[in-house]
Homo-oligomer: A and B are copies of this chain.
């Protein structure tokens, strides 16, 4: 299926307004007091014109950010209905004794301002773990955010959730269901501490397609497995991972309430948005200079393909070799070999590929002669594909990652200060 890319991110679907601003969540310093200095947004709000069916997946880390706990509780209370999302960067509100209280307060502020039920507000935070969240700047920001809500301020919101991200991540597509034009849009943040497990770094998705909460959750859980959960920047599963998906039905298609053709189209469109956001997250991994895409085919089952593909993009040694543009394919074989899956290593073929061509480096688990010159040319690209053929079935999966660079170390050697 092909989908048309459209502008607008989370505001691409009908009836979603967004806003973002700077409120000074990080300890204010003198520079912050100078009104001439333009600060990066650190808080955003987005709101649907009507109540939405909502679905979400959360981090599997035992340490869960307070916003995760509060969002989960709210959606349970509201019966998976939501109307607004508030999210901040610069502080994860995690491992704080008063975290839940503060996250609840954020929902309350939005609920009061918009006159909506508190349990229909989703809250998310990202940033440093273990520093008390200052609530005063947020109390000042919420009325401003509410006043500035607009059908085209998706960019204000997308920049507010950025931490070490160097580019904002938005994607949206258009498709038809039941003769009606529907849209799915999303924004994501994330650059480090990325190794999603059942969820990922903050991802917010909106749609105007009418679909039941149950199928919305089913679609989200299925697509997360083959997109965000196949992404690794550094093997660290964050405490604040969350994807939330809200459907307001304003496309006025007949509500999807059963599996079938319409549900398949919806899932394919959702995959398009989430896979593209995943690619953007990988390419903007902390310090990354190259996007790595490992495509495993010929697997006996889907899970084997996923496990092998993830093992390759998670290997620090292979990631460092890619930074050095060194065709050290032995490290690919090594990573395939320690993947927790069953297959015959002696049947494995590996090719390295990019816009500059393709080079075969391994056949039947053993090295083959190849031109180092050609390999260097292939690896000089900033998007590298590692093609792994297991020759033991029909299943395929892709995992996304990035190279390991000096800048990853630099960024993370001194993140707090």
Asked if A337 is an interface residue, CB under 8 A from chain B, the answer is: yes
Closest-by-CB residue of B relative to A235 is B316
Asked if A95 is an interface residue, CB under 8 A from chain B, the answer is: yes
Asked if A366 is an interface residue, CB under 8 A from chain B, the answer is: yes
Are A239 and B416 touching (Cβ within 8 A)? no
- Nearest CB of chain B from residue A129's CB, rounded to whole Å: 3
**Contact flags A229-247 to B (C-beta < 8 A → 1, else 0):** 0000011111100000000
A247 to B228, CA, bound (A): 51
Asked if A203 is an interface residue, CB under 8 A from chain B, the answer is: no
A280 to B408, CA, bound (A): 26
8 Å CB contact of A333 from B130, B192, B234, B365: B130
The answer to whether A329 and B130 touch (CB under 8 A), given A60-B338, A239-B334, is: yes
The answer to whether A334 and B129 touch (CB under 8 A), given A192-B317, A317-B193, A365-B63, is: yes
8 Å CB contact of A62 from B61, B234, B345, B405: B345
Q: For residues 87 through 139 of chain A, which have their beta carbon under 8 Å from a beta carbon of chain B? A: 92, 94-97, 128-132
Are A97 and B317 touching (Cβ within 8 A)? no
Contacts of A85 in B (CB 8 A): none
- Nearest CB of chain B from residue A121's CB, rounded to whole Å: 25
Are A337 and B414 touching (Cβ within 8 A)? no
Q: For residues 145 through 168 of chain A, which have their beta carbon under 8 Å from a beta carbon of chain B? A: none
A348 to B184, CA, bound (A): 41
Asked if A392 is an interface residue, CB under 8 A from chain B, the answer is: no
**Contact flags A311-337 to B (C-beta < 8 A → 1, else 0):** 000111100110110101111011111
A129 to B337, CA, bound (A): 13
Contacts of A32 in B (CB 8 A): none
The answer to whether A95 and B63 touch (CB under 8 A), given A236-B334, A321-B412, A417-B326, is: no
8 Å CB contact of A238 from B128, B334, B409: B334
8 Å CB contact of A323 from B96, B338, B405, B409: B409
A405 to B316, CA, bound (A): 12
8 Å CB contact of A345 from B63, B234, B331, B415: B63
Dominant secondary structure at the A interface = loop
A338 to B241, CA, bound (A): 12
Q: List 27 A-B contacts (CB under 8 A).
A: A62-B338, A63-B333, A92-B330, A95-B333, A95-B366, A95-B367, A97-B366, A128-B330, A129-B331, A130-B362, A130-B367, A132-B367, A193-B331, A197-B338, A236-B315, A236-B334, A238-B334, A239-B333, A239-B337, A316-B408, A321-B414, A324-B413, A326-B413, A328-B415, A405-B409, A406-B410, A408-B409
Asked if A84 is an interface residue, CB under 8 A from chain B, the answer is: no
Residue of A315, A321, A413 most packed against chain B (CB within 10 A): A413
Contacts of A405 in B (CB 8 A): 409
Asked if A404 is an interface residue, CB under 8 A from chain B, the answer is: yes
A323 to B417, CA, bound (A): 14
Closest-by-CB residue of B relative to A329 is B130
**Contact flags A346-363 to B (C-beta < 8 A → 1, else 0):** 000000000000000010
The answer to whether A234 and B316 touch (CB under 8 A), given A326-B417, A338-B197, A416-B326, is: yes
8 Å CB contact of A413 from B97, B197, B236, B323: B323
**Contact flags A391-417 to B (C-beta < 8 A → 1, else 0):** 000000000000011101111111111
Contacts of A334 in B (CB 8 A): 61, 63, 129, 193, 236-239
- Nearest CB of chain B from residue A98's CB, rounded to whole Å: 9
Contacts of A323 in B (CB 8 A): 409, 413
